[in-house]
Amino acid sequence: MQIKTMAEYMAEGTQPEVLFWVGCAGSFDQRAQRITKAFATILDKVGVQFAIMGKEEMCTGDPARRSGNE
């Protein structure tokens, strides 16, 4: 499955139905990566046009907040 980035949609002059924010856990944590892949597979199977931010996606700071750094 090939997942387009938002930049690719913008270059085509189109927009996806959904922008899927993967997040830090979904990108780097092995357990969460399986969830991310499963969710992307579901979106693909039901025909939802979606994009990710790719390398342009920044960390929200949630991992630091959850570890008590507020």
Q: What is the per-residue pLDDT for 1?
A: 86
The residue extents of the domains of the chain are 6-57
Please give the pLDDT value at position 65.
76
Over residues 9-68, the pLDDT tens digits come to 999 999 999 999 998 888 888 999 999 999 999 999 999 999 999 988 887 777 777 788
Nearest to 57 by CA among 3, 2, 7, 1: 7
**pLDDT score recorded for residue 70:** 67
Give me 63's structure tokens.
Answer: 């991992």
Token pair of 58 as six digits: 């920044």
Q: Answer for the pair 24, 63: CB distance below 8 angstroms, yes or no.
A: yes
- Tell me, what DSSP letter sits at residue 53? -
Tell me which H or E stretch contains 50: strand 50-51
> Which H/E stretch holds residue 28?
helix 23-28
